[in-house]
Amino acid sequence: MEFCSFALDALMTEGHLMKSRFNAPVAWLTSGLFSVLSGCSWADQEKSGSDAFDILTDKPTEFFADATSTNVPIAPSLHATDSVFIDVDKDRDLDVVVSVEHGVNRLYLNDGQGRLVEQPGAFGKGIHDSEHVRAADLNADGNMDVVFVAEADEIHQLFLGDGKGGFTDASERLPQTSQGNALALGDVNGDKLPDIVIGSTGETAYAPDAKIIPARNLLFLNDPKRPGYFINATKTHLPDTNDQTEGVALADMDGDGDLDMVLASPAFPNRLLINDGSGHFKDASSQLDLRVPMESREVQVVDVNQDGYLDIVFFNITSNNFGWDKDPQTRILVNDGKGHFRDETAGRLPAHKFSSWGGTVVDFNHDGNPDLLVGAIDVPGFVPLQVRAWQNDGKGQFRDVTGDVMPGSTVGRSWSMGRGDLDGDGREDVFIGGWGTQARLLLSDTNAYEATRPAVTPLNSPKAETQ
């Protein structure tokens, strides 16, 4: 009970912080936010018959155990915006790097069983507005390196890994700054070195009538003569447009063997850029079937119907918590095999009205078909909701199986999600970012986790009353 009281105090404090930025009511605290408390979920009086709330131990489902309370540093007011799973110290398990908005970016080392321990100062002590993080071996030394992009303070960062868990700040090698809110790494010009794509935005303030200034996405090509140094190829390789990008995916969308670019925009129609193989991109957005206006915040590329062609999933919001505006329905564009992408949302995805700042692709039922986890927030109000689980039938049609798949504690203002096998069971685990609510860790080996979890005595049991 002491932990839950501590978390409640933190959330009440956070309520004032959120109100100042999003004009959202403190009534969040009575609308489901309690259930983000790590290791606790809440039932109301009508269901439980108690005086007010019962604190219930959150049981794992067949597919996931919420290991947050025991395996993740508790930080309920942290703005954990994104994460990436990499082995930073070559101990043969995956660690987690977390980008933090208006805070210090974090490194969580894995003990080999999925328990994460923070390494303070791994990426310095500076506070930045970091929105996304990605990792790759950028300087060809065999060690994983890390890139963060920041929006408000426009300080993008590059850290070179030493393979022992240490990092050196090499941010001066990034040739340009911007309001960055999207990031992807990949070899776009075929020289076997990963390059950097940064999606840029141009908001001047967080307000309904915020002025949008022109913003260009950035392309930094890795210098083959000096791997780990970068050449700014933005003007020569990208279309000269006002981009306003908050999500970017690099993938071979036309089947010619090179990486193309899919862009998610909060202000303009989403875009498709086709690579000529040398890293020069041409706008092919007319090949996207964009039937409705969208405020898109993230994009995933995946072959949903197993036909050998990559499809597109856009995660959308109605507004940045300024009231109801655009339709926030998650949308799926299916590749016809000829380079055109048809909007088949109505027949393939569950209908919804919540807004989603992020989601991920994971085969949570291990049937070989890609499923979706979808972050959910109620707007207006910025009210935390439970993360949704949508199961793929193998033909690209999804149904909502949240109640069967997601532990009840997975309620929060969920943001971007990282995935990978943290506990060594051969199945992917998921780290769910949280905007001012506790970031959560879902482990797929539910039996192993339960075997190590301490027993919890219900508060209304006779034993608890005597303690």
Q: Could you read off the pLDDT of 306-328 as tens digits, one per residue?
A: 999 999 999 999 999 989 999 99
Q: Could you tell me if residue 279 is left (phi over 0), alpha (psi between -120 and 50 degrees) or otherwise beta?
A: left
Cross-strand bridge partners of residue 418: 431
> Where is average pLDDT lowest: 11-15, 322-326, 364-368, 377-381?
11-15
The yes-or-no verdict on residue 378 having pLDDT over 50 is yes
Residue numbers of the domain that contains 172: 78-410
The yes-or-no verdict on residue 447 having pLDDT over 50 is yes
- pLDDT digits 0-9 by tens, 116-166: 999 999 999 999 999 999 999 999 999 999 999 999 999 999 999 999 999
**How much is the pLDDT for 40?**
39
| 91 within domain boundaries | yes
At residue 462 the predicted structure's pLDDT band, cuts being 50, 70 and 90, is low
Provide, for the chain, the percentages of residues in helix, strand and coil under a 3-state DSSP scheme, each rounded to the nearest 5.
15, 35, 50
At residue 45 the predicted structure's pLDDT band, cuts being 50, 70 and 90, is very low
Structure-token pair, residue 304: 């949903």
> Where is average pLDDT lowest: 41-45, 102-106, 385-389?
41-45
At residue 456 the predicted structure's pLDDT band, cuts being 50, 70 and 90, is low
Q: Measuring CA to CA, which residue among 451, 456, 438, 454 is closest to residue 68?
A: 438
More confident residue, 259 or 31: 259
Phi, psi of 316 (to 5 degrees): -130, 160
| 435 within domain boundaries | no
The yes-or-no verdict on residue 38 having pLDDT over 70 is no
Count of beta carbons in the 10 Å neighbourhood of residue 401:
18
| Separation between Cα atoms, residue 205 and residue 229, nearest integer Å | 33
- pLDDT digits 0-9 by tens, 5-28: 323 333 333 333 333 233 333 333
| Separation between Cα atoms, residue 445 and residue 37, nearest integer Å | 22
The yes-or-no verdict on residue 42 having pLDDT over 70 is no
More confident residue, 399 or 18: 399
Helical (H) or strand (E) element with 18: helix 2-22
**How much is the pLDDT for 25?**
33
The yes-or-no verdict on residue 272 having pLDDT over 80 is yes
Average confidence (pLDDT) over 271-291: 98
| 323 within domain boundaries | yes
Structural domains of the chain, count: 1
More confident residue, 174 or 458: 174
At residue 453 the predicted structure's pLDDT band, cuts being 50, 70 and 90, is confident
The yes-or-no verdict on residue 397 having pLDDT over 70 is yes
| 14 within domain boundaries | no
| Separation between Cα atoms, residue 445 and residue 64, nearest integer Å | 7
Average confidence (pLDDT) over 354-376: 98
**How much is the pLDDT for 286?**
98
Mean pLDDT of the chain: 87
| 394 within domain boundaries | yes
Three-state DSSP at 5 gives: helix
Average confidence (pLDDT) over 79-83: 99
Query: Could you tell me how many residues make up the chain?
Result: 467
| 227 within domain boundaries | yes
Phi, psi of 18 (to 5 degrees): -65, -40
> Where is average pLDDT lowest: 32-36, 145-149, 413-417, 453-457?
32-36
DSSP-assigned letter for residue 295: E
Helical (H) or strand (E) element with 101: strand 95-103
CATH number for the domain that contains residue 186:
2.130.10.130
DSSP-assigned letter for residue 241: S
| Separation between Cα atoms, residue 250 and residue 197, nearest integer Å | 9
| 343 within domain boundaries | yes
**How much is the pLDDT for 305?**
98
- pLDDT digits 0-9 by tens, 173-212: 999 999 999 999 999 999 999 999 999 998 766 666 667 7
Phi, psi of 156 (to 5 degrees): -80, 150
Average confidence (pLDDT) over 94-121: 98
At residue 87 the predicted structure's pLDDT band, cuts being 50, 70 and 90, is very high
**How much is the pLDDT for 452?**
81
**How much is the pLDDT for 95?**
99
| 467 within domain boundaries | no
